Structure 1
Amino acid sequence: MHESMPASSAPQPSAEEIRQIAAPLCGLEGPLLPMLHALQETFGHVPPHAVPVLAELLNLGRAEVHGVISFYHDFRDHPAGRQVLKICRAEACQAMGGAGVAAETLARLGVDWHGTTADGAVTVEPVYCLGLCACAPAAMIDDRVIGRVTAERLTREVRQ
């Protein structure tokens, strides 16, 4: 019933392109996170084939690199939609009707969690606190936090 947009058919960056972005960061203390952020900023995601490149540059196991990527929820292995809608799933928002807002919003957009609308416009992700508990339920569209949301407001705001 819920469909996600397939991974982008855009050409994937080469190992050399990944290396050019990551290698200058090798001298930093704890360089893996800055490398992952740089790749995601450049490509809109961390390409899966970046794992062996980063592992080689940092003399780490591939599992270690993959473990860091999978631990941090903001890293993606495929491009997100043009807008990212994050809906709070924490207790305060749930107590104020957040579960219903989330379910209705997902249904209206025709996606499930982590899914992207068929037109590539919106990716919906769960988050576990936006720090707006007093104005629950809360959501964030790109970098803009919104309190006291409804499904109608969320779908209207992402359709603008």
Structure 2
Amino acid sequence: MNTHKRFWLVQSCWLAIAATLLLMSGCATLNIEQPKVSVTRLAPASSGSSLGTLFEIDLKIANPNGVALPIKGMSYSLAINGAELLFGTSNQIPTIPAYGSETVTLQVEANLLSAPKLFLALNKSKTLDYTFKTKIDLSGPLPTINVVESGTL
């Protein structure tokens, strides 16, 4: 191999290494702020089963970031006084624009096995503590985001 070809081969390797390091450092410093997720509606699903265990939930997802959030899928659950009552998953979530918001309608399923636990908890407490958990999987190199909203009714 002549000196000229060897020089270009070495230069190409160094350029590839530098590009890889630059790309890795860019991904490592990508700081995505957690989106705001709020429940705006909860109603029985019109196409529910005879037991009425399906519900529709409207979520408003607000993106406080300067980049769009391409959502690959999400899972979500609602617990009352520690009993998980509703849960669901979806891969039909639109991309949330930068500094924008979208309202999405999702199907949730009632966990009827949690009902006895809830009734026992309600007999012991005069308040309703709720926890809404959402795991949002983003497409590409963006991280998974976990959102937890909780409070007392």
Does TM, scored on the shorter chain, surpass 0.5? no
- Return the structure number with greater helix share: 1
The two structures have a TM-score, normalised by structure 2, of: 0.22
TM normalised by structure 1 equals 0.21
Question: Which has the greater radius of gyration?
Answer: 2
